[in-house]
Each structure stands twice: as structure tokens, then as C-alpha cells.
Amino acid sequence: MGLTVCPTPIGNLEDVTLRVLSALREADVVACEDTRRTRTLLDRYGVNASLVSYHEHNEEQRAAELVERMRSGARVALVSDAGMPLVSDPGYVLVRACVAAGLEVEVLPGPSAALAALVASALPADRWRFVGFLPRKAGELRRVLAADGGTLIAFESPKRVPATLAAAAELDPERAVAVCRELTKAHEEVARGSAVELAERYADAPPRGEVVLVFGPPSPAGADAPPEGVEQARRLVEAGAKRRVAAQVVAELTGGSANRLYDALTE
């Protein structure tokens, strides 16, 4: 009785673990994003399991149904289309519901596109953060890219890769970046270089397939450079605005860091 969270291969079906296959065989029902995609994996290994759809559009209703089944003694396995459920995939509502109901939640280790990309990037792995899919709005994107937090890992749509790299190059041209696409698949590719180099490479030819972007820590030159908008913020201060207010206003307009602008105004 309870829930088993089962990560599935991110591309190569041979990356499924023995424990995951065992859990899928023992489950009374397998909750999955796309029953057709999950069935392909199960058929590969001769697993006969009852499948039920569980995706972002039916999470609330399906979670309640599954909790009731577990209360009645059922064992439920949760999978996503690829990788670890909950990590930029459905599952959070169900796990929270199970915890609230006092049900057992077992999480099995397995494939992760974010971790595979981090290691493949050859960028520092001692301090990093994963932000899921990057925001589409330019200002929000710039804030995420500019924030300090070590190496940055993010999912991105192939069509938006050129614009994202261009934004990164504008903020910090020499920042080390890796474009990891189709990880574990036949056409796997990892392109490494500076932000400006990769921005030029993909400007007119967006990559194909699933992409993970990895940004190294800001380069010394980028970290020391005056933040964008500092002159505009200084003009606001000269016009009578408080430095903190000026920094916040300009940061919202440019997508930069209000703290960096404020620090620059006080230097």
C-alpha cells in the first residue's frame, strides 16, 4: 500500500533500472503522462501493468482517485514520460496528497537529464542550481541568467535556444556554456564554448531535439563589468529618486539585478 516514484529513461530504454522494472511489475496500477509512451517501455521488458493517465490537466482529480485506491490497499507506481517525476513533470500533487494521507512514498533513483547534462558539460558541479524550463519573457529570462548561484542548469525549447544564448552573450560574453541535446540518444551532442561563441553558432540554426542548457558561473570579466542600466539609475538618483528605488525600477525594465545596481550606485 502506497506510492512508488519511478524514474524512466530520458532516451535510451536500456537505462531503466532493475528496481524500477520490479516496482512496475508489482504495482496494481501505473500512473503515467502518456499511456502510449509508457506502454512502449513496458512492452520492451515484458511488463504487463494496468495504466492510468496522470498529467498536468487531470492531476487534482486523478490524485484524489489514486489516494483512495492506495487507502484500499493498492500499490501505485508513478512515472513520467522521461526522467524523474515531479522534476519539470507532473507528480507533485500526488506526492503531497500521499504525504497528507499518511501513505508511504518510496522514491527510486534513476535517469535525470539535468544531472547528465551537468556532468557532460564539464562545468563546475560543486555548486549548481536547476531552474526547470527557462522563462519566456525577456526580463524574467535575464534575471534568471544573471542571478548568482554557481552553475545553472535549465531546460529549453530548441526554437528558443538562439534567443536565450543571445541574451546570455549580451549579459556575459565569455561565460562558459554547454548546449546538450538528445542526451543518451543516437544523435547525442554536447557543444561547449563561450556564450558569444555558441550564440553565433546557433543564431541561424536552432538545435533539434530535446535540449538542456548548462551555464557556468559568471566569468570574472562579466562579474566585474558594471551592471546594465547603471547610468540610467544614476540619472534617476540625480533627479531625486532614492538609490534603492532607482535600482529596482531600472532592474525591472532591463531584467538585471536590483542588488547589483544598488551596489554600483553606492560605490
pLDDT score for 226: 64
Q: Mean pLDDT, consecutive 10-residue segments, the chain of 267 residues?
A: 96 97 97 96 96 95 97 97 95 97 97 97 96 91 86 97 95 95 96 96 95 90 64 86 87 76 78
Q: Which CATH superfamily is domain 2-107 in?
A: Tetrapyrrole methylase, N-terminal domain (3.40.1010.10)
Distance CA 127, CA 150 (A): 5
Pairing assessment for the beta strands 189-194 and 176-181 based on DSSP bridges: antiparallel
Q: Tell me the C-alpha distance between 130 and 256, whole Å.
A: 19
β-strand partners of 165? none
Distance CA 75, CA 47 (A): 16
DSSP 191: E
Q: In the CATH hierarchy, which fold is given to the domain comprising 113-217?
A: 3.30.950
Q: How far is CA 267 from CA 54, 243, 261, in A?
A: 53, 12, 10
Residue 118 confidence (pLDDT): 98
77-88 as b/e, with b when 16 or more CB fall inside 10 Å?
bbbbbbbbbbbb
3-state secondary structure of 216: coil
Give the model's pLDDT for residue 98.
98
pLDDT of 133 reads 95
Cβ atoms of 197 and 173 closer than 8 Å: no
Q: Where are the domains of the chain?
A: 2-107, 113-217, 230-266
DSSP string, 43-56: HHTT----EEE--T
